[in-house]
Each structure stands twice: as C-alpha cells, then as structure tokens.
Chain A
Amino acid sequence: MTQSVKRHSETVMVPFPSDAIVPARDLGKRPVLEARHLGIQFGGLKAVDDFNLTVGPTEIAGLIGPNGAGKTTVFNLLTKVYEPTQGTVLLDGHDTKGLDVTHTARLGVARTFQNIRLFDKMTVEENVRIGLHNKIQYGMVSGILRLPGYWKKERQQHERAMELLRIFNMQDQADAVSGSLPYGAQRRLEILRALATEPKLLLLDEPAAGMNPHETEELMDTIIRIRDQFQIAIMLIEHDMRLVMGICEGICVLNFGQIIAKGTAEEIQNNPVVVEAYLGKQKGAGE
C-alpha cells in the first residue's frame, strides 16, 4: 500500500499531442491506446459519445463514473465486442476498424469481465493455458498423434502457466475446476488468463469487486507488480476509490457516456464537476 501511494506521487503527467496526457516516462513513446472521437449508439441512446483517450505504454489508467455511465461499453468498443458507430481506436498504432474480437485481441489487448467469464468446466491451469493458446502453439495432428512437438509445447505451456499462477499464489489450485473457485479467486484467475496472452494493454473491469479491503490492498500491489514486471499498460474500471486514487496515474471520468474530466488523482479529487457528478454522491452515501 505504501509502495503504491509513493509510486503515485512520483508520477508526473505531461501533455502528449494536443490535449492528451501520459506519464512522463512514456513521453515520446508510441501510445498503446489512442481512442479518437469514439462513440456508439444503442437505438436512441448514446451510450458513449466523443470519447478521446491516450494511454502510454506503461501507464496505469483508471476509468471511473457512476453506474450506467458507459465504462464497460468503452471496454467493449476497445475490444471490438461492439463496432463503434463513430470514431477510431488505435491499438499500438494499428487501426482496429473492421477487425473482430479475435483479431483485435491478437493485436495485444486482453481483458477481464465485469460479470466473470471463466471457462468454468475447465481447470484453473487449463484456463491459463487458453491464454497461452497463441503464444505456445502446436497443431491438431501433433496433438492427436502425440508427436514430439506435443510433449515439448505441453511442457512449456505447463511451466508458463504455473509461473503465472504464482503471481497470485494460486499454483496449488491449478487442478481445481475454475467454476468452483471462490469469487475473488475467479477474478484473479481472469487476470492471469488475460496476462497469459502477453498483452500490451490489459483491461480490468472492476477487478476488486467482491473483494474485502485486505484482498483489495493485495490486488493494488499486484497490479503495480504486473505493470513493472511485464512493462505493459493497464486500464481499469473500478468503483473502489481507494484503489483508483492509489494506483492510477491518469484517470478519466465518464458520466452519461461523456468524459467530464481527465487528470491525475489529485486533479480529479479536486475537480468540482467530478465531485458533483460522482464523488459527491459517494461521500454522502459511503463516508
């Protein structure tokens, strides 16, 4: 916890092109994500409108906003679950226009889901191995005939999966059926499965939901550790303000599908528009 607070205060956000901001260390590097004028309409409802965001290659970014603000919809646009009706998404410089979910994922974006989506009849290790699917490969024939490639790649997959499981100290649960895990463990497994794909950008949709304060604190440290170790960008949606303010460098606030503020934790906390739209309500109810 102390570590994450310290890290946060070290961060200096600098202007990127035009109005975008990224951490100082990411300046001059190609942003991993650039969303420009992104929007989608469901019937008459503009669920997301004119969404602009730049995320640096090692940034931890936060996306917050009241319920129904359109946060998950932004993730669905970035991963192409929905094709945007307006605007563009550049992932690591590649335009994702017309790509489907599979091929967008292969550009290096991985995600977790707000309503957990594990392969719940498969084991914990098998779930992580699905994340490794495109990283450690062998063909169908090799698998059926158990050719040397099968044994070699299976061992590599196993070793890599166990390495990843150790991040959350889950190696002992490798053979458990994932659907039978407690809620918190399922969330952690989803993160590991996404991490296994070796993404450049990791999207976490409410990773701390259902976790107790102690677990949340551990999660904060782990998120920073993952960023440092893998040198990737992480963007997260979260209602737990302690987590968001503790580890996110750049924060983007969404309300009714529109960005109402962007900035560092300090700037966001002191922004009257945000306080009114979002934090004010929380304070009244929570603290």
Chain B
Amino acid sequence: MSTKTKNMLTTLLTLGMTALAFLLCQLAIVNDWSWMTSTLKGQLVNICAWIIMAVSLNLVVGISGELSLGHAGFMSLGAFSAIIVGSWLKRGMGMESGELRFVIAALSAVLVAGIGGFLIGIPVLRLKGDYLAIVTLAFGQIISNVLRLLYVTVDTDTGSLAMALKIGSGTPKLPGKDIIKGAQGASRMPQDATFVIGFILVMLTLLIVLNLNNSRSGRAIRAIRDNRIAAEAMGLRVTKYKLMAFVTGSALAGLAGALYGLNQSSLQATFFEYNKSIEVLVYVVLGGIGNIWGSIISATTLTILPEMLRSFSEYRMLIYAIVLILVMLATNNPVIKGWFRMVSGRISDRRNRKTGKKEARP
C-alpha cells in the first residue's frame, strides 16, 4: 500500500472515529444513559476546545518541530475577541441567532489570533535556534497581563463599543454595560457554543491539520523540521513554511478560544497563563509528538479525569498519575500503533482486491 493511500486512510479513520464518539455522546444524551453524567455533559464543549488546542499545538510542535510555550496565549486572544464580538452582537446589535453570532465571533477570534501568531512569528522564526520557546513564553504572560487591564463596555441602546486599558491606578470610566472588566474578566457573555458546534470545529481542525500535513506545504514543513540545511539547499523558503505552520496553529488556538470563551459564564485572563500552555503541551507529548489521534485521546482523557476524580479526594493525584502513564503507553505503544496501521491496511487491501488493482512491482 502506498504512503498516500495510508495517509488518506489515517485521515478517514481519525475523522470517522471522532464522528463515532460524537454520535455515541449524542445518543447517551438523548437516551439519558447513566455514564453521561451532568458533570460530563457540562464538559463536552470544553473537551472539544482542548482537542482543538492539542491538535493545533501538535501542528507547531510535532509537524513543524518548533517549541511553543504560549499556545494558551493565542487561545486567550481568541476567547476575548469572540467574547467582545459575541456580546456586542447580542447586547449591542440585538442579533437573535446564536449560531450566526458564534460564527462571526469565531471568525474574528481566528483572525485576531492568526494576526497575533504572524506578528510573533515574523521576527522570531527568521532566527536559527530555539528562540520561539522563550518568546512565546513571554508572549503568554504579557498578553495575560494586558488583558487584565482591558475594559470593554457596550451601549445597549446605540450599540457602540467602548474600550480602554487601565493605565495607572484609576479604573477607566466607560459608558454603557460591562463586557470585560479588567482583572475581574468577562461575564454575561452569550453562551452560544454548543456540543454540535464544538464537534464541527474539531472535525474542521482535523481536516485542516491532516490535509495540510499530507500536502506539498506539509511536506515542506516536515522537511524543514527534519533538516533545515538540506531543505534550504532544495530551494525551500524556510521562514515561509515555519510561519505557515505557526500561524495556522495560532489561528486554530484562537478558534478553540472562541469555543471555550463562549461556553463559560465568566472568564479571567489569568486562566490562560503559562500553566495552561504547559498543560496543552502535556496533552501533545503524552499523545505522541506528531501523532494527531494521540492528541485527541490524551486531551479528552486528561480533561475529563480531574472532574471524575473529585470523589476520590486523597487518591486523586495517584490515579491521575497512573492514568497519565496508561495514556502514554496506549498512544506511544507500537502494538496499538500497529493495530491502527493494520486496520487501515486491511481496508485498502480489501478495496484493492475488489477493484483488482495491484501496486506496480516490476
């Protein structure tokens, strides 16, 4: 079986299994199955957001080979952009449709986070060496600190937005109703994110990342990761492809931010600090660097787990550690990887047999 068929089947398999999991959850919700507890139900959208975070960070870390320690920073850019736009559309413009509000809010989130990624990436990715880790680390902290000073209000009659940064001691006085109130963060935003939307965005993210990876641009990105000097000698523009991966990853983190932000009743900027970026990095490393379905599994497991372990109180950390090890074994295990390969191999063999096609072997 050729690499191309294998790649295509892996993509289909990943998308198919994700869709299957979604259907299962929907069935459980409709039929009130006992494992679909109210806690789990409340987490479904967040799980989708963390899957998008893990998969998009895997694009940067695994496929492009650049260490980013500020992925949550781009998520916060997306979350707060989406909250501002969504609240404005609802409370200022009186837009009724939650779906439409979400789409517009998510698009602005993607745009803002993408531009953020571009501005960070342009100076840093030109340099040879691991400067990205340090710069993104700083970026994550700076953006969190800046957002803590942000005040945004909307005039519910005229629909006009007002924004100010708190500089000095006095809090800025803005006309209208609060959307974001400095360190207290955002509240009363429209909770437009739904599990269906979350699922669609996960599928979209998977499609983008997997298709990019298996295209001319994706090969260029991987070639630069494997050997920068050889890639240059082949006439590849290194900065262009590093930027492509980084900006796509950042924009998708913005998308995850929109999903997450428009699912909460309140949200503070400090939530997206350093430790959140590291948490997402843990999902990626645990799921296997460059392994997309591994990211999905580890993001899901590690999001659900802390909530589920609440009742175990003192054994919580112990169980958490054991599950970490199990996830690592599962996603990095050659047997399980082999099973994935075997399943995709079987399907294509069968197809080839049916069509009577054989690979050319002179």
**A, B bound:** yes
B231 interfacial by beta-carbon distance below 8 Å: yes
Q: Do residues A119 and B226 form an inter-chain contact, with CB atoms below 8 A? A: yes
A144 B215 Cβ-Cβ under 8 A: yes
Give Cα distance in the complex from A176 to B341, angstroms: 15
Q: Which residues of A contact B227 (CB under 8 A)?
A: 117-120
Q: Judge whether B237 is part of the interface by a CB distance below 8 angstroms.
A: yes
Among A102, A138, A172, which residue has its beta carbon within 8 angstroms of that of B216? A138
Beyond A113-B230, A117-B230, A118-B227, is A130–B212 a contact (Cβ under 8 Å)? Answer: no
Residues in A with CB closer than 8 Å to B158 are none
Residue contact B236 to A102, C-beta cutoff 8 Å: yes
B220 and A105 within 8 A (CB): no
B233 touches A143 (CB 8 A): no
Q: Is B3 an interface residue (CB 8 A)?
A: yes
Residues of A within 8 Å of B230, CB to CB, are 113, 117-119
- 1/0 per residue B225-246: CB within 8 Å of A? 1110111111111100000100
A100-119 CB contacts (< 8 Å) to partner B: 100-103, 105-106, 110-111, 113, 117-119
Given A123-B3, A126-B3, A144-B215, also A101-B226 (CB < 8 A): no
| A-B contact list, 22 entries, CB within 8 Å | A102-B232, A102-B236, A102-B238, A106-B235, A113-B229, A113-B230, A117-B229, A117-B230, A119-B227, A119-B231, A120-B227, A126-B219, A130-B223, A133-B216, A133-B219, A137-B216, A138-B216, A140-B212, A142-B215, A143-B212, A144-B211, A150-B215
Query: Chain B nearest CB: distance from A181 CB in Å?
Result: 14
Interface residues of A in 117-160 (CB under 8 A from B): 117-123, 125-127, 129-131, 133-134, 137-140, 142-146, 150, 153-154, 157-158
Q: Does A216 contact B (CB under 8 A)?
A: no
The answer on a CB contact under 8 Å between A158 and B215 is: no
- Give chain B nearest CB distance to A63 CB in angstroms: 17
Contact of B222 with A121 in the complex, beta carbons under 8 Å: yes
Q: How far is the CB of B175 from chain A (nearest CB, A)?
A: 42
Any A CB within 8 A of the CB of B310: no
- Contact between B223 and A143, CB atoms less than 8 A apart: no
Interface residue ranges, B against A (CB under 8 Å): 1-4, 6, 207-208, 211-212, 214-220, 222-223, 225-227, 229-238, 244, 361-362
Q: Tell me the bound Cα distance from A51 to B357 in angstroms.
A: 56
Mask, A261-285, CB within 8 Å of B = 1, is: 0000000000000000000000000
CB-contacts of A7-39 with B (<8 A): none
Q: Name A105's contact: one of B2, B207, B225, B234 (CB within 8 Å).
A: B234
State whether the Cβ of A79 lies closer than 8 Å to any Cβ in chain B.
Answer: yes
Q: Is the CB of A197 within 8 A of B218?
A: no
Point out the residue from B223, B232, B234, B361 that lies within 8 Å of A100, measured CB to CB.
Answer: B232
The smallest beta-carbon distance between A159 and chain B, in angstroms, is 11
Q: Does A81 contact B (CB under 8 A)?
A: yes
A219 beta carbon closer than 8 Å to chain B: no
**B212's closest neighbor in chain A, by CB?**
A144
Q: Beyond the given A102-B236, A126-B222, please list 17 additional residue pairs across the A-B interface where CB-CB is below 8 A.
A: A81-B229, A105-B232, A105-B233, A113-B230, A117-B230, A118-B230, A121-B225, A122-B222, A126-B3, A134-B235, A140-B244, A143-B211, A144-B208, A144-B215, A174-B3, A175-B6, A197-B235
8 Å CB contact of A130 from B3, B229, B234, B238: B234
Bound-state CA distance A126–B221 (Å) is 12
Bound CA–CA A102/B237 (angstroms) = 6
| A150 nearest in chain B by CB position | B215
Distance to closest chain B CB from A201 (angstroms): 13
Given the complex, which residues of B lie within 8 Å of A111, measured CB to CB? 233
Task: Answer whether A158 and B217 are a contact pair too, CB < 8 Å, given A102-B232, A119-B227.
Answer: no
Contact B211 A131, beta carbon cutoff 8 Å: no
Chain A residues positioned under 8 Å from B207 (CB to CB): 144
Q: Given A79-B233, A118-B227, are A143 and B217 neighbors across the interface (CB < 8 Å)?
A: yes
The answer on a CB contact under 8 Å between B236 and A133 is yes
A171 within 8 A of B: yes
Chain A residues closer than 8 Å to B232, beta-carbon distance: 100-102, 105
For B215, what are the chain A residues with a Cβ–Cβ distance below 8 Å?
138, 140, 142-144, 150, 154
Q: In the complex, what residue of chain B is closest to A203 when comparing beta carbons? A: B233
| A193 at interface by CB-CB < 8 Å | yes
Question: Given A143-B215, A174-B2, A105–B222 Cβ distance below 8 Å?
Answer: no
Given contacts A113-B230, A117-B229, A143-B218, contact A175 B223 (CB under 8 A): no
Closest 6 CB pairs of A and B: A143-B215, A105-B235, A119-B226, A117-B230, A101-B232, A140-B217
Give chain B residues whose Cβ lies under 8 Å from the Cβ of A81.
229
User: How many Å lie between the Cα of A140 and that of B209 in the bound state?
Assistant: 11
Is there contact, CB below 8 Å, between B223 and A153?
A: no
> Measured between alpha carbons, how far is A157 from B9 in the docked complex, in Å?
20
B2 contacts which of A110, A143, A175 (Cβ < 8 Å)? Answer: A175
Q: How far does the alpha carbon of A24 sit from the alpha carbon of B6 in the complex, in Å?
A: 51
Docked pose: A158 CA to B216 CA in angstroms: 11
User: Which residues of chain A come closer than 8 Å to B238, judged between CB atoms?
Assistant: 102
Kindly identify, within residues 206 to 234 of chain A, every residue whose CB is under 8 Å from any CB belonging to chain B: none
Chain B residue nearest in CB terms to A144: B211
- Shortest CB-to-CB span from A113 to chain B, Å, is 7
CB < 8 Å: which of B4, B6, B220, B233 contacts A101? B233
Residue of A nearest to B362 (CB): A171
B332 nearest CB across to chain A (Å)? 15
- Smallest CB separation, B128 vs chain A (Å): 12
Least Cβ–Cβ distance between B337 and chain A, in angstroms = 14
Neighbouring A residues of B1 by C-beta, 8 Å: 175
Inter-subunit contact B236/A146 (CB<8 Å): no
CB B148 to nearest CB in A, in angstroms, measures: 36
Complex Cα spacing A102 to B229, Å: 9
In the complex, which of the residues A123, A153, A174, A193 contacts B234, with contact meaning CB atoms closer than 8 Å? A193
Max count, chain B CB within 10 A of own CB: residue among A106, A113, A117, A142: A117
Contact across chains for A110 and B234 when beta carbons are under 8 A apart: yes
Alpha-carbon distance A134/B217, docked complex (angstroms): 11
